[in-house]
Amino acid sequence: MEPFQSIDKVQRYMRALQFDKVITNEEVGGKIWAFWMNKLDVQVVRMGTQYLSLRIADGDSQFLGNFIYAKCSRIERQILWEEMSSSNMGMDNCLFAGDFNINRLDLEIRGGKPRSRAAIEDFNRWIHQGRLIEMKSQERNFSWCNGQQGLARAWAKLDRVLLDPTLISAFPNAICYYLPRTTSDHSPMFIEFLKDPYSYGPSPFRFQQMWIEHPDFMSFVQYVWSEPIVGTGHEKLASKLKKMRVALREWNKRAFGQTNTQIAILEEKVEGLEGNLQGVWDEEVERELVGSYKELSSWSRREDIRLAQMEKIKWKMEGDRNSNFFHVWLTNKRRKRILKLRTTDGIEFNSPEEIHLGAVNYFSGFLQNSNQTS
């Protein structure tokens, strides 16, 4: 397509669909187009022949939207899995949506030729390594049909939406709808982000049990806590706690933000060292292997502690950190909400906002009285 023809085509689409802006990966050989309204802040992060990565912000909400149109070839999809690996995604909360051109299970195919088992394993391995969770969907089981007649007709689920745990925690009620097929052999997907109706205010600070196993944890806490603070009594304590909360969140990103990447790197290193020893034994390689095993065990334990704390029940880890049991349990936990609250003097709070403000007012008064008494 000539540049001027492409510009005219884009302008026609934008006028017809009533969008303000557009981006496409045509210039790198792709076929993905993204349109949006001015109320969204959208920045292009990178693009390839099979994906388009956009940082999308709407008010306080922000995530990295990775829109996929995967190739039919397993080899080309392997390139996509590498480019979309967790080690290349940075610290952004991620969404992956589009046509992945491969299914996850045999149940996601009806009719036609069976898909390559190795290709399915490639896809599931990428999902597992990224700790991605599939967004729940409605309306239909298959997103693609080859349009043939009789016994030649085939269906498959090739289109889906995957989220990382942090993003799905922010939007636990997000859902994907498969709309009826018309001119395409794929069903359009409609993704609806619904915030938790009972969440209110900033996300709570949670102490991670895995932190205490890090050799630098105590020295870091002592350094932050020892910095001088101006104020008296409870004011100094509140300021120190607030400063510590911010510092620990940043430290957590630096120390543990790439846990799964570190585990994958160490697993590959251990496998390589073992292969070397199987060929020719070497004392230096043996020593390096023992050290790598120890480091891998440490990183794996940190990840297991994090997951165990999230579920807060005794759960025997079986290697599958994306198991249905784990995520069903978390979903069930989200349903246990405090919808109303009544104080001892009969005052009722009937919404998350009222409960929050009531707690703030109570403790503000309590601390003020304590300061006056002291």
Higher-pLDDT residue of 47 and 231 is 47
Of 262, 264, 242, the C-alpha closest to 254 is 262
pLDDT of res. 232: 76
- Per DSSP, the three-state class of 84 is coil
pLDDT of res. 1: 35
Higher-pLDDT residue of 333 and 66 is 66
Higher-pLDDT residue of 77 and 271 is 77
Question: Mean pLDDT for the chain?
Answer: 78
Mean pLDDT, residues 336-353: 75
283-311 and 324-334 helices, crossing angle to 10°: 30
Where does the pLDDT of residue 311 fall: very low under 50, low under 70, confident under 90, or very high at 90 and above?
low
pLDDT of res. 4: 41
DSSP per-residue letters across 322-355: T-HHHHHHHHHHHT-----EE-TTS-EE-SHHHH
Mean pLDDT, residues 339-351: 78
Put simply, whether the predicted model's pTM sits higher than 0.85 gets the answer no
Higher-pLDDT residue of 316 and 101 is 101
Where does the pLDDT of residue 236 fall: very low under 50, low under 70, confident under 90, or very high at 90 and above?
confident
Q: Say if residue 245's pLDDT is above 90.
A: no
pLDDT of res. 47: 92
Q: Say if residue 132's pLDDT is above 80.
A: yes
Give 137's strand partners. 176
Where does the pLDDT of residue 323 fall: very low under 50, low under 70, confident under 90, or very high at 90 and above?
low
Where does the pLDDT of residue 277 fall: very low under 50, low under 70, confident under 90, or very high at 90 and above?
confident
pLDDT in tens, 17-47: 678 888 888 888 888 988 888 888 899 999 9
Mean pLDDT, residues 166-179: 79
C-alpha 119/C-alpha 126 separation (Å) is 11
pLDDT in tens, 68-124: 999 999 999 999 999 988 777 777 788 999 999 999 888 888 887 778 889 999 999
pLDDT of res. 86: 78
